[in-house]
Structure formats: C-alpha cells, structure tokens
Structure 1
Amino acid sequence: MKEVFEKAILTYGQTAQEDVAIEEMSELIKAICKMRRAGVNEKPAAMDAIVDEIADVSIMMEQLCMMYECFDAVENRRQYKVRRLANRLKEAPACSK
C-alpha cells in the first residue's frame, strides 16, 4: 500500500492530495448525517456509505502522515489521547442513547 500512496502523492501532488483528504472527511461527515436521518429501510445503504467513507478517510490519513512525515508523532499523540479518554471514562457517568 505504501508504494501506491507514494505514487499518488508524486503523481497528483501534495496540495491535490490535501484537497482530496478534506473532501473525503467532508463526505464522511455527510454519510454520518445521512445515517442519523435514515429510516429503517435506508439503514443498510447508509451503513455501506459510512464504511466506504471511513476507508477513504483512512487512506487519506495515511497519505497525510506520509506527506508530513509524522507517523510517530501522530501515534504518540493518539496513545496520549486514548489514555486521557480512559481516565475521563473512569469518572464519567454512563449516558443513555
């Protein structure tokens, strides 16, 4: 996969790939909004759209990490934020859906 992502960055350029990342994140937001409004019969298609958009966003996030050379920094920050969330959850009351 790394080779494909590197080729995409070299072929289309960093600015274009940043724009694609922004577009894909926007499409994920839109898919989540549609899922929240979906009726029972619309849920399967809405879920398929969410899966597609999460895949697209994850591909673009990897390319962003490559372009900014920040894999380790992102992973360290991610671990910090997960620990912080775990600590907050210890103190938080459960909410109902």
Structure 2
Amino acid sequence: MEYKMDEQILQSAIDTYGSRSQHDMLLEEISELQKEICKYYRNVNNEPQIMEEMADVLIMIEQVRMMHKIKNEDIQKVIDFKLARLNGRVNEEIEKRHKTYCDLERGYGCVFDE
C-alpha cells in the first residue's frame, strides 16, 4: 500500500506551519477520522467522508515521518514485525474458536473433523 505524495509540498507545509502545529494537526485529523467511523456505526452512509479523513491522516503521518527523519524501510520493519504478531494472534483465536465449537458439539461430531 504505497501512496504518492509530493514531499516538496509536505516540506513546505512543515516549514510554513512548524513542527508543533503539524503534530497537533495529525491529532486533529485522527480525531476527525474517529468521528466519521463512529458515524458509520450509527448507520450513516459516509464512506466518502471516511476516505477523505483517511487521506488527511496519511498526509499528516507522512509529514511527521519527515519531521522525525524516519526512513520508510525502518517503518516497514516494524510493520512486518507487528503483522507477524497479529497473524499469530489471529491464528490462536481461530484455533480457540475451533476448539470451543468442537467442545460444544461433542457427541455430535465436530464439523471441522470431517
């Protein structure tokens, strides 16, 4: 998932508004995304607004990455680690649900054992 961003524009925003302001703006954009997600769960058809707020958050994250001089490769290493951990947790949950279902079906035969 790679998005193209004009680093010159992003750097200009950092230079114009300053580091503190851009950090604050990231928090504001995250809050606006959170609000749109909450609306979605109240059965509001707001996918375009969710997408817009996601774009705002991604732009601000990129600016924060630039301000802290964090390399994309370093972020990717952390992402890879966290995805591997998440995969392990998901597999554990699937196995736990499988076991629970099979325990409930004891005596009737477990459909997973077929």
For the criterion TM > 0.5, the same-fold answer is yes
Deviations 1:18-49 (A, max 9, x none): 111010000000000000002xxx41xx1111
How far did 1:92 drift?
1.3
Aligned to 1:29: 34
TM-score by length of 2: 0.73
The 4+ residue runs of structure 1 with deviation greater than 6 A are none
Question: Number of paired residues?
Answer: 89
Higher relative contact order (CA closer than 8 Å, sequence separation 6+): 1
Does 2:44 match 1:9?
Answer: no
Note the aligned Cα RMSD (angstroms): 1.3
- Mapped to 1, the partners of 2:11 and 2:18 lie a distance apart of 10
TM-score by length of 1: 0.84
Question: Which residues of 2 match residues 1-97 of structure 1 at below 5 A?
Answer: 1-38=6-43, 42-43=44-45, 46-71=46-71, 72-93=73-94
Structure 1 regions of 5+ residues with no counterpart? none
Structure 2 regions of 5+ residues with no counterpart? 1-5, 98-114
Q: Report which of the two structures shows the higher radius of gyration computed on alpha carbons.
A: 2
**Structure richer in helix, relative to its length:** 1
